[in-house]
A and B are shown apart, each in its own frame.
Chain A
Amino acid sequence: MKNAVGRDIPDFLLENGKEVYQGKNYMDGKYLQKAAPKTRRYEKPQESKIVESLAEALKQCGAKSGMTFSFHHHLRDGDFVVNMVMKAAIEELGLEDLTIAASSLGAAHDPIADYIEQGKVIGIQTSGIRGRMGEVVSKGKLRTRAIIRSHGGRPRAIEAGEVHIDIAFIAAPTSDCVGNCRGIGGKSNCGSMGYAMTDAKYADHVVVVTDCLVDFPNMPASVEAIDVDAVVVVDSIGNPKKIASAAARISQNPRDLMMAEDVARVIASTPYFKDGFSFQTGVGGPSLAANLFLEKYMDERNIKMGWAIGGICGPMVEMLKKGKVGKVIDVQDFDLDAVNSINQTPNHFEMSASQYANPANKGAFVNKLDFVVLAALEIDTGFNVNVLTGSDGILRGAPGGHPDTAAGSKCCIIVTPLIRGRMATVCEHVVTVTTPGDCVDVLVTDYGIAVNPLRPDLIECLDNAGIKHVPIEELKEKAYSMVGRPDDLQWEDEVVAVLEARDGTILDVIRKIKPYTLED
């Protein structure tokens, strides 16, 4: 059945009330029955919840084959915890048929690909999937279909019971002996722990894994002891160098800067750019550089940013410290400047993934966003964006908060070079629709700007400001004139991953890619 972005969704996926994507805000006003976890009572006072090893903790939580374990990705490419836990479960306890439900997975988790090939891990639910794991899933090696959700879609699915977490593992830079966790104060600091919060509330069991035990009480806690069954102290939960980069530097690449400047011009041309406006930007080259140019316009008009959300890094913290932005609220920190600022700098707060982006709750931050500036691997002439699959059809990306912020914000700007190497970023049809075109408003490239025809009001703003723009088809043709028209990817019928829209409907599917041959 074709969905609202024209993707053919096989009927066999539409069971148990699952629907295809119908357009944004389709679920508005409907009711949601939340699922409650079954948790153990700890009535008798305990001195400590520390257990000897991960294997012990798993046993204590009744780990068995077929279970779903959840993880969060604040330790990013430095994370050791996913691999450590799965090794203990599979190699020490001999468990199999396990499902990993993570907020994201990356190159740090290459070893899990082996467990997938061995059939020990049979399910993956995540926002991001990259490296070897993306390859084996794309080759159809995972026994069940992977499920890809946005950062807002994940807490929605957890709360709705669509994902039932048997054991949640919390990678904690610091914890006390009963499991009050924080993202700072240890040796592998990550700052915000926003993605772990819903897991801790909805999992049957919660295990904290830390490499820095601190005195009770570890306050203010990101994950609270009231939800924690066991604490495991390990030598190291991650490689600090890969958890948070030293400092996210603003790009000096002239192409990035040129695009960033156009992004700022577009923003400044809209009526939303007024004192107290709200803003989120990605950390990619041109997105982050937009901060720099935006500041100039803010100074010129003598206005301040009301608040900023997101994954946060140094340049935004700098603006907060300078008083150019009122409040910063984040689910994740990307560099040490941000890690060291959260809950320390006045008006720099932490929030949960649900609070950030969940479309089914009653007040997510994304719904109050004026602007979001995002990158794209591909964008098609319907303004649909792909940030998940590569040009070869292999899973190598993450929707992350892309669809959530795009849908919630008043003005969503995609900024990307027109071509990357020989890849046309602006194309006829994206490989996978991760953010539907009805949520995307403006495209800024190094070859020109295009506005979604669904937004005549923004077209008028740009015209009034004398900002040139062209139909997106023109940009696509320009791209193809340079790189040539790509061959269509060749797929098998087998669906290897289902991409859920943030509201839980099916936005797209990822099929197994056919081996490529040079023969015609």
Chain B
Amino acid sequence: MIPRPRPERFRLRRTMMFMNAQKPGLIKDAYIYGCDSIMLDLEDAVAENQKDAARFSLYHALKTIDYGDTEVIVRINGLDTPHWQEDIRVCVAGGADGIRIAKCESAQDVLTVEKHVEMAEEEFGVEKGRTLLMAALESPKGILNAYEICAASERMLGVAISGGDFRKCMQTKPTRDGIDMVTARGMMLIAARAAGVQCFDTVFTNLDDQEGFEAEVLQNKAMGFDGKSLINPKQIRYVHQVFAPTEKEIIQAEKIVRAYREQSAAGVGVFTVDGKMIDIAFIPGAERTLKLARACGLWEGDLV
């Protein structure tokens, strides 16, 4: 049995890779590819008549496999199916770090899941509040309710848009410049930032179109996403590359944090770094840059 530390609500989540929870060969070591989070899927990847088998498989995987620093999130079946309650029980009992709520459309959906998570935490003697939640927005209604969803619970780590279902609702297809989803992505991002949670983009499914994938990742980064859902390990590297801070950003961040520590010890609140006015508002951003730089293997300091 591998004890996992209490999940961090806010951590680095550049890449979340989907894996079918029913495939033993896949889930046994998905972490070796270096994604930040793996998303064990009980929903679309698992056939309707194998939902039960997938849960047994998932339970033992969670209890046996040492995923190390990789976050383990489980995508449960939608609230309109007969499966989600048992899905929640197995996730909590197995000690998953988080649960992804499929087809989330309202704060009430989050609260419903949260209630069952709490019941399961009680039932299985799991520390209350340990299990994090995230919501997948897959419909126009979900997007319109993004803020209330993001703000619905202290367990919420973030929201992700799910392109396949969303485009179906909108009667659109993926476009090269992302115009088909730009509004939804933007609305979701604003809501997530307003609620102070993270925000993730949808999967890019055409594995043969590396150029298209790269364009989308660049756009994700430019729009302010925290990360992206992936379907194949070979997509991980590029996302990490794009989301990595530049050398200049790292040096700047290090200076800011260092200067802030020195100045605040001396009681100074506002100071300049390289001629630029800096105050406490800059610190979280600079610290985030350094953490990201360390995760990317670009920085080895101990300031954060």
A and B touch in the complex (CB under 8 A): yes
Residues of A within 8 A of B (CB): 252, 254-255, 257-258, 421, 446-447, 481-482
Q: How far apart sit A257 and B25, CA to CA, in the bound complex (Å)?
A: 17
Q: Are A257 and B234 in contact, with the CB atoms below 8 A?
A: yes
Q: Are A447 and B32 in contact, with the CB atoms below 8 A?
A: yes
Which residues of chain B are within 8 angstroms of A421 by Cβ–Cβ distance?
25
* Interface contacts beyond A255-B233, A257-B234: sample of 9 additional A-B pairs, CB < 8 Å, sorted by A: A254-B33, A254-B232, A254-B234, A255-B32, A258-B32, A258-B233, A421-B25, A446-B29, A482-B28
Interface of B is mostly: helix
Q: How far in angstroms is the closest Cβ of chain B from A369?
A: 30
A–B complex contacts, Cβ < 8 Å, 19 sampled: A252-B234, A254-B33, A254-B232, A254-B233, A254-B234, A255-B32, A255-B233, A257-B234, A258-B32, A258-B33, A258-B233, A421-B25, A446-B29, A446-B32, A447-B29, A447-B32, A481-B66, A482-B28, A482-B29
Q: Which residue of A lies closest to B208 (CB)?
A: A252
Most chain B CB within a 10 A radius of its CB, from A252, A254, A481? A254
Which residues of chain B are within 8 angstroms of A447 by Cβ–Cβ distance?
29, 32
Which residues of chain B are within 8 angstroms of A257 by Cβ–Cβ distance?
234
Q: Which residue of B lies closest to A258 (CB)?
A: B33
Q: How far apart sit A446 and B33, CA to CA, in the bound complex (Å)?
A: 9
Q: How far apart sit A252 and B28, CA to CA, in the bound complex (Å)?
A: 20
Residues of B within 8 A of A (CB): 25, 28-29, 32-33, 66, 232-234
Q: How far in angstroms is the closest Cβ of chain B from A417?
A: 10
Which residues of chain A are within 8 angstroms of B233 by Cβ–Cβ distance?
254-255, 258
Give the tally of cross-chain contacts (CB within 8 A). Answer: 19
Q: How far in angstroms is the closest Cβ of chain B from A128?
A: 28
Q: Which residue of B lies closest to A257 (CB)?
A: B234
Most chain A CB within a 10 A radius of its CB, from B28, B32, B66, B233? B32
Interface of A is mostly: helix
Which residues of chain A are within 8 angstroms of B33 by Cβ–Cβ distance?
254, 258
Which residues of chain B are within 8 angstroms of A482 by Cβ–Cβ distance?
28-29
Which residues of chain B are within 8 angstroms of A254 by Cβ–Cβ distance?
33, 232-234
Q: How far apart sit A254 and B234, CA to CA, in the bound complex (Å)?
A: 6
Q: Which residue of A lies closest to B25 (CB)?
A: A421
Q: How far apart sit A254 and B33, CA to CA, in the bound complex (Å)?
A: 8
Q: Which residue of B lies closest to A481 (CB)?
A: B66
Q: How far apart sit A421 and B25, CA to CA, in the bound complex (Å)?
A: 7
Which residues of chain A are within 8 angstroms of B66 by Cβ–Cβ distance?
481
Q: How far apart sit A215 and B66, CA to CA, in the bound complex (Å)?
A: 67
Q: How far apart sit A252 and B210, CA to CA, in the bound complex (Å)?
A: 13
Q: How far in angstroms is the closest Cβ of chain A from B274?
A: 29
Which residues of chain B are within 8 angstroms of A258 by Cβ–Cβ distance?
32-33, 233
Which residues of chain A are within 8 angstroms of B28 by Cβ–Cβ distance?
482
Which residues of chain B are within 8 angstroms of A255 by Cβ–Cβ distance?
32, 233
Q: How far apart sit A252 and B233, CA to CA, in the bound complex (Å)?
A: 11
Q: How far apart sit A252 and B33, CA to CA, in the bound complex (Å)?
A: 14
Q: Which residue of A lies closest to B236 (CB)?
A: A254
Q: How far apart sit A74 and B28, CA to CA, in the bound complex (Å)?
A: 39
Q: How far in angstroms is the closest Cβ of chain B from A116?
A: 36
Which residues of chain A are within 8 angstroms of B32 by Cβ–Cβ distance?
255, 258, 446-447
Q: How far apart sit A254 and B26, CA to CA, in the bound complex (Å)?
A: 11
The 9 closest A-B pairs by CB, nearest first: A254-B233, A254-B234, A446-B32, A447-B32, A254-B232, A257-B234, A254-B33, A258-B33, A482-B28
Q: Which residue of A lies closest to B32 (CB)?
A: A446
Q: How far apart sit A481 and B28, CA to CA, in the bound complex (Å)?
A: 12
Q: How far apart sit A343 and B33, CA to CA, in the bound complex (Å)?
A: 42
Q: How far apart sit A255 and B28, CA to CA, in the bound complex (Å)?
A: 13
Q: How far apart sit A258 and B30, CA to CA, in the bound complex (Å)?
A: 13
Q: How far in angstroms is the closest Cβ of chain A from B32?
A: 5
Q: Which residue of A lies closest to B207 (CB)?
A: A252
Q: How far in angstroms is the closest Cβ of chain B from A264?
A: 14
Q: How far in angstroms is the closest Cβ of chain A from B34?
A: 9
Which residues of chain A are within 8 angstroms of B25 by Cβ–Cβ distance?
421
Q: How far apart sit A252 and B208, CA to CA, in the bound complex (Å)?
A: 11
Which residues of chain B are within 8 angstroms of A481 by Cβ–Cβ distance?
66
Q: Which residue of A lies closest to B64 (CB)?
A: A482
Q: Which residue of B lies closest to A483 (CB)?
A: B28
Q: How far in angstroms is the closest Cβ of chain A from B293?
A: 16
Q: How far apart sit A482 and B32, CA to CA, in the bound complex (Å)?
A: 14
Q: How far apart sit A378 and B262, CA to CA, in the bound complex (Å)?
A: 56
Q: How far apart sit A446 and B28, CA to CA, in the bound complex (Å)?
A: 13
Q: How far apart sit A447 and B29, CA to CA, in the bound complex (Å)?
A: 10
Q: How far in angstroms is the closest Cβ of chain A from B93?
A: 22
Q: How far in angstroms is the closest Cβ of chain A from B68?
A: 11
Most chain A CB within a 10 A radius of its CB, from B25, B29, B66? B29
Q: How far in angstroms is the closest Cβ of chain B from A443?
A: 16
Q: How far apart sit A252 and B232, CA to CA, in the bound complex (Å)?
A: 11
Q: Which residue of A lies closest to B28 (CB)?
A: A482
Q: How far in angstroms is the closest Cβ of chain A from B262?
A: 31
Q: How far in angstroms is the closest Cβ of chain B from A265?
A: 13
Q: How far apart sit A254 and B230, CA to CA, in the bound complex (Å)?
A: 13
Q: How far apart sit A258 and B232, CA to CA, in the bound complex (Å)?
A: 12
Q: How far apart sit A255 and B33, CA to CA, in the bound complex (Å)?
A: 8
Q: How far in angstroms is the closest Cβ of chain B from A381?
A: 21
Q: How far apart sit A258 and B66, CA to CA, in the bound complex (Å)?
A: 20
Q: How far apart sit A481 and B232, CA to CA, in the bound complex (Å)?
A: 26
Q: Which residue of B lies closest to A448 (CB)?
A: B32
Q: How far in angstroms is the closest Cβ of chain A from B6?
A: 24
Q: How far apart sit A447 and B28, CA to CA, in the bound complex (Å)?
A: 13
Q: How far in angstroms is the closest Cβ of chain B from A423?
A: 13
Q: How far apart sit A48 and B233, CA to CA, in the bound complex (Å)?
A: 61
Q: How far apart sit A252 and B32, CA to CA, in the bound complex (Å)?
A: 17
Q: How far apart sit A446 and B31, CA to CA, in the bound complex (Å)?
A: 11
Which residues of chain A are within 8 angstroms of B29 by Cβ–Cβ distance?
446-447, 482
Q: How far apart sit A257 and B28, CA to CA, in the bound complex (Å)?
A: 18
Q: Which residue of A lies closest to B234 (CB)?
A: A254
Most chain B CB within a 10 A radius of its CB, from A252, A255, A258, A446? A258
Q: How far in angstroms is the closest Cβ of chain B from A147?
A: 38
Q: How far in angstroms is the closest Cβ of chain B from A317?
A: 24
Q: How far in angstroms is the closest Cβ of chain A from B269?
A: 40
Q: Which residue of A lies closest to B297 (CB)?
A: A466
Q: How far in angstroms is the closest Cβ of chain B from A107?
A: 25
Q: How far apart sit A377 and B188, CA to CA, in the bound complex (Å)?
A: 50
Q: How far in angstroms is the closest Cβ of chain A from B181?
A: 27
Q: How far in angstroms is the closest Cβ of chain B from A256?
A: 11
Q: Which residue of A lies closest to B233 (CB)?
A: A254
Which residues of chain B are within 8 angstroms of A446 by Cβ–Cβ distance?
29, 32
Q: How far apart sit A258 and B233, CA to CA, in the bound complex (Å)?
A: 9
Q: How far apart sit A47 and B33, CA to CA, in the bound complex (Å)?
A: 66
Q: How far in angstroms is the closest Cβ of chain A from B132?
A: 27
Q: How far in angstroms is the closest Cβ of chain B from A196?
A: 41
Which residues of chain A are within 8 angstroms of B234 by Cβ–Cβ distance?
252, 254, 257
Q: How far apart sit A257 and B236, CA to CA, in the bound complex (Å)?
A: 13
Q: How far in angstroms is the closest Cβ of chain B from A50?
A: 52
Q: How far in angstroms is the closest Cβ of chain B from A262?
A: 11
